Amino acid sequence: MTKSSREQINIDEMKILAELQKNSNQNIDTIAKHCDFSRQKVWKTIKHLEENKTIWGYTAVTDEEVEGLKLFVLLVKRNVVSFDDSTKNELIFENLDDYLPDVVRIEDIFFTHGSFDAVVTFYVPDLISAKKFVQVIFKRVGKFLKEILLIETIIPIRKKGIKNPQIKKLVEYL
């Protein structure tokens, strides 16, 4: 039974996305070869995926320890106070980095369902900087929060789906 053209396009897009997720630095020819597609098909598909925001950007997976940075996770639980429109816009649409200390680099922000309502991952040089970041967040939106839990990570096993090439360091922590 033949697949509809839309189904086949989705399958082809998923193949190309899988290749990009393995290594977004691959050139179009390599991706085409791995997917058994033409160069032109891969290029058009990637452009389409970028235009419809399936692909948001490209990034290198790096060892932030080299930069003197540590990854922290912030778990946030809201209270029953509703966000006003101004705060909603600030959290969702505005650039949060504008009011953050210079040493903070936000990695991810997720709104979640579960014991906590949001997860923020961020890089800073040390625990003191992480605590200052939490204070900034609390100063801005504290009236909406019930609980904040700050977690310092030790060593990443995987980042962005890529296995840490220095995973042997983990042995000393286990």
Mean pLDDT within 123-127: 95
Q: What pLDDT is stored for residue 91 in this prediction?
A: 77
The answer on 74 and 30 residing in a single domain is: no
What confidence category does residue 1 fall into, taking pLDDT thresholds of 50, 70 and 90? very low
Q: What pLDDT is stored for residue 119 in this prediction?
A: 96
The CATH number that applies at residue 98 is: 3.30.70.920
Residue 165, pLDDT > 70, answer yes
The answer on 130 and 83 residing in a single domain is: yes
Residue 7, pLDDT > 90, answer no
The answer on 141 and 81 residing in a single domain is: yes
Please indicate, yes or no, whether the overall pTM of this predicted structure exceeds 0.85: no
Q: What percent of the chain has pLDDT over 90?
A: 48
Query: What are the tens digits of pLDDT across the range 57-113?
Result: 888 888 888 889 999 999 999 999 998 888 888 777 766 666 676 789 889 989 999
Q: 86: how many CB neighbours lie within 10 A of its CB? A: 9
Residue span of the structural domain in which 115 resides: 64-159
The answer on 71 and 155 residing in a single domain is: yes
Residue 50, pLDDT > 60, answer yes
Q: Kindly report the length of the chain.
A: 174
Q: What percent of the chain has pLDDT over 70?
A: 93
The answer on 69 and 153 residing in a single domain is: yes
Contacts 24+ apart (CB under 8 A), 157-160: 159/61, 160/21, 160/59, 160/61
The answer on 143 and 108 residing in a single domain is: yes
According to DSSP H, which parts of the chain are helical?
Answer: 5-22, 28-35, 39-51, 85-92, 127-141
The domain tally of the chain equals 2
* Tokens 């060593």 belong to residue: 155
Q: What pLDDT is stored for residue 58 in this prediction?
A: 83
